[in-house]
Amino acid sequence: MSSTVSAAALRELHRLHSQLSDLRGRLDRGPKQVAAHKGSVAQLEAALQAAKNHAQETRKAADRKQLDVKAQEDKIANWENQLNTAKSNKEFQTFQEQIAAARMAASVLEDETLELLGRIDETAAEVGRHEERLAAGQAELKKVAANVAANATTLEAEVARLEADLAVAEKALPGDFKLDYQRVVAAKGADGLAPCEDGVCEGCGQSTTLQMQSDLKASKPVFCKSCGVLLYLPE
């Protein structure tokens, strides 16, 4: 290849490609950050709904227990009335045993009801904690989304400026060299160029030949024989 390309021109091309790669990466990461926060908010919403469902089920269970207690109390009251109408000692004794058993069952139900009523307060407090977490997550999502949107405008403008600079720099490349340059950049992006420091390719760490080093000094295009990147001499 008879073309010559100055090290300064290749350094500038590498700088432009590297900066563009960084900016495009930052642009790509923005929506991913927003999506990640949306996912977190969705998890917080699900956790809040689960806490609300648990609180609701606990309330329903307490209501059912209170109805069961009332039913036992009604049975006891009915059997106490029937004591006075017992026609025999055996019947009287049966009513007394039923009343004692019902009172025992009612006592157990009352204890269970009190426990559930206590759990209602706990589940209400847990709902409150989940509501606070969700509010904080939503606020963070709003903040991140706003920052990403604001940064995107700046980053897109910077990308457009650098793309224009890159187009100008590429236009100045020799025609018979441009195809090889475009091939390696299309395959490797910003990593398609690398400095050759003290005879070593900074792209892969392999040593170059004396002929390659001589060609570099003569501003001839040199591609690393190991990793294929376009080499240039550093300042």
* 29-170 classified as CATH 1.10.287: yes
Task: Please state, in angstroms and rounded to a whole number, the distance separating the CA atoms of residues 188 and 200.
Answer: 19
pLDDT the model gives residue 2: 56
Residue ranges covered by each domain of the chain: 29-170
Locate all alpha helices (DSSP H) within the chain, ordered by sequence. 7-83, 89-171, 175-188, 210-217
Going by C-alpha positions, the residue among 227, 229, 205 that lies closest to residue 216 is 229
Q: State the 10-residue block means of pLDDT for the chain, 235 residues long.
A: 84 97 96 97 97 92 82 82 80 82 82 82 94 97 96 96 96 91 96 96 96 94 96 94
